[in-house]
Structure 1
Amino acid sequence: MDKSFKILFVPNGGRIAPATRYRIYQYLPFLDEAGIKYKVYSAICDNTTVRMVGSSALTGLRKNMYYARVFFERLIRFFRIFYLAGIFDVVFLQRTTFPLGLEKLLRKRNKNIIFDIDDSIYMPDKEERGLTGRIKKYIKKEEVVSALKVSKCVIVENNHIRSFAAGFCANIHIITGPIDTVKNFPRQASGKNDTVIIGWIGSPSTTVYLDMLKGILVELSEKYDIKLNLVGAGKYSIPGVRVENVGWSEAIEVGELHKFDIGVMPMPDNEWTRGKVGCKMLQYMVNAIPAVVSYTPTNAEIIHDGANGFLAYDKKDWINKISILIENLQLRKGMGLKGRQVVEERYSVIANAGTFIKILKDTISS
């Protein structure tokens, strides 16, 4: 490998941001092994990333001040990115867009731009209201489209995002996940504890989806000895359901997941969620935890109902399928291991690292 082959990774946030960890940092050991040099320089600093992860809790003036901070920070850090782009062979933008159409200026500095988009970031935030919401609705999509147009190559999470991106870039690759199958390993289900742990991992901004299960979990609690373990949800409770909240950190993530007997991922089926491949679903599967997830066409590409997990279409389905797993320890073990196998074969870092490195090389040679 030519020693001059160098990649500038520009994630939308620091390492605490899940997309940065999954779409960049997990590949770095493989780049080291291949002799590829790199630098990671995020579009916002670590302190602002912390605010970004918790931004859903901000309201009014505080939220507007946060948006202003992100705008000016991205603008200021762009000039450092612009300089670095001239001394690296490839610029890899992970969700990163810039204000004022500055991607066009970046392309003049380096034509080998890869844009990685793993979420429906071109869609408006439904929780935004008023003038701020209208402005964001317009700017958000325009910035993403601008990044797509200047990119030589685009990597997307799934087919739904591919359909959108194809209107602006012809060279598109799909990489779902990926998940580290070394750090994450099959949990050992002893079956000694009579209490069945139903688990969920996420962030405070996504607990709104948990509301879909409130009545379901109350009904299940009346029939079974269950507890709901939440990782990263903040302070969340459901009257009539035993709930344990644990703060998320990278160091304890796998250990907390291994406490789960069943993993759940509720979400509505709409344009926003179809652009997501729920990371939590893959986290359950890679740790051999049987997953029950809401049906969306995207989820159905990964979960084969009744084989490597369960798809739930409505309230009755949620109750029936969680009940089946509560009552059948052997099914939980078998389904969990089948989920793990699917991740190893298709969605692991190991399975996708070669493809990722080839994309980097082809971007230079094309």
Structure 2
Amino acid sequence: MPRLLFLTQSGPTLPSVRFRVLPFVEAARAAGVDAAWRRYPKTALGRVAFFAALRRTPVVVLQKKLVSPLELALLRRKAGRLVFDFDDALWAAHPGQGARGGSETPGELARLLRVCAGVDEVVAGNTFLADKVRAAARRVTVLPTPLDTDRYVPAGAARSASGLPVVGWMGTSCNLFFLPPLLEALAPLAGEMRLSVVSDGHLELPPGFAGGCLRWSPEAEIPALQAMDIGLMPLTDDEYTRGKCGFKLLQYMACGAVPVASDVGFNREIITHGRDGFLAGDAADFARYVTDLVRDPGLRARMAARARARVVERFGLAAALRRLWPVLGLEGFPV
């Protein structure tokens, strides 16, 4: 068995696996650590086979999967150090789910707290998540989702040749829910910008907007981000969104797009309002800040440079490794 094993609830395309697991496995291997990851079995039969084959492993990281008490006990017996990592409000319903949207799902918080109480350490994606489980957990470390800022880089001069400024949004299809009220507020600006929506789903753009929807893929992701001048992150304000870790903001900022985001949760810890992005209280604020950025190329350039610098300094992969290695008992390994 490897020295370090990550167990994930989903496959490699899910952002939490792509950015909170795979880079750490790769970095650990580069540092000489025998590291691996695998998806936690979905079926009862698969879990029986998994535990039968699992040998004593020095460090096991359970990523976002809320296991049963029996499975937690089995993992506890097999792991020298057992860590639980999460970067979403796992106890809350998505805001788009009707009357329940954004509120606590009965029983899910209890499941989360039980798992957190049964491990050696919890790694949470932001302070809101950490505070939610702090009373139950033995130890809690806050680790924002890191970004490889050597890969996510600005496009440079190519962006300025595209004509109208590109205002973009990137996200999963379930989060397209947040966009319509914002696009309505931006309608008066439609003739001065291009709109780019990048997702695994489709959104019909309102009349008057130039641009379109681009199907997300791993290959299209970075070029689509590099084409943006301004990146949007509208959210409601509820239990679910306060648990968000603002990762799309980091992607925008690293690739040279100025972020304009709802003044909610961890967004406030990523953006320094007026310096490297804007925090908006409502749709009218979004419209005002996007208008300023669209009409002032110099302002965009200055804020984009500051945004890039902030991500590199605070949210880069090297900074994350310096926090995570001691949690995993890998002190002294290179970052």
The within-5 A match list for 1:273-292 is: 273-292=241-260
Conserved 8 A contact 1:74-1:98: no
Residues 111-160 of structure 1: CA distance to partner in whole angstroms, max 9, x if unpaired?
52100011111223455579x99xx9334333322211111011001110
Query: Which SS does the other structure have where 1:102 is aligned?
Result: helix
The corresponding residue for 2:320 is 352
In structure 1, the residue corresponding to 2:175 is in which secondary structure?
helix
Q: Give yes or no for contact 1:156–1:172 (8 Å, CA) kept in 2.
A: yes
Q: Which whole-Å CA distance do the structure 2 matches of 1:312 and 1:126 have between them?
A: 18
Q: Which residue number in structure 2 is paired with residue 47 of structure 1?
A: none
Contact 2:277/2:307, CA 8 A, preserved across alignment: yes
CA deviation string 1:89-125 (max 9, x = no partner): 1110110122465213321333521000111112234
Contact 1:160-1:275 at 8 Å conserved across structures: yes
For the residues of structure 2 that align with 1:110 and 1:84, how far apart are their CA atoms? 13
2:139 and 2:280 mapped to 1: Cα distance?
35
Matched, 1:104 2:104: no
In the TM superposition, what is the alpha-carbon distance from 1:320 to its structure 2 partner? 1.1
Q: 1-side partners of 2:291 and 2:277: how far apart?
A: 14
1:220 to 189, 192, 197: 189
Which residue of 31, 34, 38 corresponds with 1:37?
34
Aligned partners of 1:124 and 1:140 also within 8 Å: no
- What root-mean-square deviation, in Å, do the aligned CA atoms of Structure 1 and Structure 2 show? 2.4
User: What is the aligned partner in structure 2 of residue 232 from structure 1?
Assistant: 199
What SS does the corresponding residue of 2:84 show, helix, strand or coil? strand
* Bigger share in helix: 1
- The corresponding residue for 2:13 is 16
Alignment of 1:200-279 (within 5 A): 200-221=169-190, 224-240=191-207, 241-279=209-247
Q: What SS does the corresponding residue of 2:328 show, helix, strand or coil? A: helix
Partner of 1:311: 279
Which residue in the other structure is 2:162 paired with?
Answer: 193
How far the C-alpha of 1:333 sits from its partner, in A, is 1.5
Task: Tell me, in whole angstroms, the C-alpha distance in 2 between the residues paired with 1:280 and 1:342.
Answer: 14
Q: Secondary structure at the match of 1:228?
A: strand
Comparing 107-116 with 162-171, greater Cα deviation is found at 107-116
Provide the C-alpha distance between the structure 1 equivalents of 2:251 and 2:184, rounded to a whole number of angstroms: 25
> Cα deviations across residues 15-43 of structure 1 (Å, max 9, x unaligned)?
01110011010122320122111221112
Deviations 1:147-195 (A, max 9, x none): 1111101100111001111021131111111001111112315533332
Offset from partner CA, 1:311-342 (integer Å, 9 cap, x none): 11122211110011101112111111111111
> 2:327, 2:271 → 1: CA distance?
27
SS at match of 1:198: strand
SS of match in other structure, 2:266 = helix
Aligned 8 A contact 2:4 2:59 in 1: yes
Cα distance between partner residues in 1 of 2:111 and 2:267:
27
User: Which residue does 2:266 correspond to in 1?
Assistant: 298
Which residue number corresponds to residue 160 of structure 1?
128
Alpha-carbon distance change, 340 to 13 in structure 1, aligned in 2, over 3 angstroms = same
Moved more, 98-107 or 158-167: 98-107
> What 5-or-longer segments of structure 2 have no aligned partner?
none
Distance 1:198 1:129, change over 3 A: closer
- Kindly tell me the number of residue pairs found equivalent between the two proteins: 327
Amino acid at match of 2:202: K
- Give the match for residue 91 of structure 2: 122
Using the alignment, how far apart are the partners of 1:80 and 1:349 within structure 2? 34
Q: CA deviation at 1:360?
A: 0.7
Q: Normalising to structure 2: TM-score of the pair?
A: 0.90
Normalised by the length of structure 1, the TM-score is: 0.83
Over 3 Å counting, the alpha-carbon distance change for 1:180 and 1:338 in structure 2 is same
Q: What is the CA distance between 1:353 and its match in structure 2?
A: 1.2
Identify the residue that residue 56 of structure 2 maps to in structure 1: 87
How many percent identity over aligned positions? 25
Structure 1 residue 307 displacement after superposition: 0.3
Q: Is the CA contact (8 Å cut-off) linking 2:2 and 2:36 kept in structure 1?
A: no
User: Are 2:56 and 2:78, in contact at CA under 8 Å, matched by a contact in 1?
Assistant: no
Tell me, yes or no, if the aligned pair for 1:8 and 1:88 is still in contact at 8 Å. yes
User: C-alpha offsets along residues 264-319 of structure 1, whole Å, 9 cap, x if unaligned?
Assistant: 11001222111111211110011121111111142111101110111111222111
Change (3 A) 1:157 1:74: farther
- Displacement, 1:214? 2.4
Indicate the larger mover: 7-16 or 236-245: 236-245
What are the Cα deviations for residues 198-241 of structure 1, in whole angstroms up to 9, with x where unaligned?
111111111001123121121221xx422211111522013222
CA distance in 1, matches of 2:116, 2:53: 20
Using the TM superposition, name which of 255-264 and 234-243 deviates more. Answer: 234-243
Supply the distance in 1 between the matched residues of 2:68 and 2:107 (Cα, whole angstroms). Answer: 8
The letter for the 2-side match of 1:267 is: L
Aligned counterpart in structure 1 of residue 295 of structure 2, from 307, 327, 341: 327
1:39-66 Cα distance to aligned partner (Å, 9 max, x none): 211125xxxxxxxxxxxxxxxxxxxxxx
Corresponding residue of 2:47: 78
